[in-house]
Amino acid sequence: MKNILVIGSGVMGAAFTVPCIDNNHKVTLCEPYNFKLINKILKKKNFHPNLKLNLSRKLVVKKFTPLIFKKKWDLIVIAVSSAGINLIRENLKYLKKKCPILILTKGLKFEKNNKRIITMSEQLNKGNKKYNLSVLKGPCLAGELARKIKSSVVIANKNIKIAKSIGKLISTRYYKIEYSNDVRGVEICSAIKNIYSMMIGAGEGLNTSSSIFRKSISEMVYLTKFFKGKEETVYGLAGIGDLYVSALGGRNSRMGEYLGKGFTFKNVKKKFMPNDTIEGAELAFEIAPFILKKINNGKIPLMIELLKAISKNKKLNIRL
């Protein structure tokens, strides 16, 4: 039995506790932001209102405090939003004993001062103190994982032995793990697929969406290699695998559908999706200043059109 801390009580963080507990680990789920959610979970005896299911009674649920890092953990799992990574980084200084850290958070950040794009693991490791970081990505819907539907993901670490040691802790008959040493490529793919899933969702029919899917893969290869990732990663779980799941449905694809019908982003948010977090749109706002100026626009026309539609609130123009 190992002690596992999961930070972030949203659907993915909560779902991730399921295989961990099935492997007989002692798991603590804590929340640094949404205290309303954590109170609901506690009040309803570990019923998660967003997943609409009961989490294990063995699961320890509590509000986040920096002092939680002073306890002894065998694995720390980061499942906050990309905006929450800074909070985690600032509080990791309280970590008394070194332990593996696994990042579920997807996203990229544009550093204005250095004019560069960095990944979530790079953001977490920005300080003087460096941590033992791995990332987990792939086509895994939280609701399906929580209901133990067979899912596969990839854990990336430059040291494959570390990735495999984490995999042994969390893999089950329904939660299969693959491994990669291409940390940057895995993080790039898992982030940009949200943008391409919007483009695919914007297709006027299956024929159009299929063409966009094929061109999206070509652009993902170009961008992944541009950011020093491996081309082969695009064809794995973090690339095509995750893109497929996102393109079939969800908030990014739904936003893309509205954009494809001629609505502007602000109009869609106000009229149809006021309470939805659109990960691809948040990423578009973050990376648009870099992508539009620093990358050959002719190589990534789909990405460019989507970034303009989101960041400049223009109507989406799909060119095939």
**In contact, 110 and 283? CB cutoff 8 Å:** no
Is the model's pLDDT at 157 over the cut of 80? yes
For 34, 219, 248, the CA distances from 31, given in Å and listed in that order, are 6, 36, 29
pLDDT tens for each residue of 260-305: 999 999 999 999 999 888 999 999 999 999 999 999 989 999 999 9
Instruction: Pick one of 3.40.50.970, 1.10.1040.10, 3.10.105.10, 1.25.40.10 as the CATH number of 184-311.
Output: 1.10.1040.10
For 55, 122, 190, 224, 291, the CA distances from 185, given in Å and listed in that order, are 33, 13, 9, 6, 17
CATH of span 3-181 = 3.40.50.720
Supply the mean pLDDT for the chain.
94
For the chain, what percent of residues have pLDDT higher than 90?
87
Residue spans per domain, the chain: 3-181, 184-311
For the chain, what percent of residues have pLDDT higher than 70?
100
For 138, 203, 235, the CA distances from 256, given in Å and listed in that order, are 21, 8, 23
Phi, psi of 6 (to 5 degrees): -115, 120
Is the model's pLDDT at 158 over the cut of 80? yes
Is the model's pLDDT at 319 over the cut of 90? no
State which of 39-43, 78-82, 177-181, 201-205 shows the largest mean pLDDT: 177-181
Picking from 111-115, 196-200, 219-223, which range would have the lowest pLDDT averaged per residue? 111-115
pLDDT tens for each residue of 212-246: 999 999 999 999 999 999 999 999 999 999 999 99
Predicted confidence band of residue 318 (pLDDT cuts 50, 70, 90): confident
- What predicted TM-score, i.e. pTM, was given to this entire model? 0.94
As a whole number of angstroms, the distance between CA 88 and CA 277 comes to 21
For 36, 40, 44, 84, the CA distances from 57, given in Å and listed in that order, are 20, 15, 11, 27
Q: Residue 277: what pLDDT?
A: 84
Is the model's pLDDT at 128 over the cut of 90? no
* Fold agreement between 3-181 and 184-311: no
For residue 302, give every residue at least 6 positions away whose Cβ sits within 8 Å of its Cβ, in sequence order, or none.
196, 199, 212, 215, 216, 219, 318
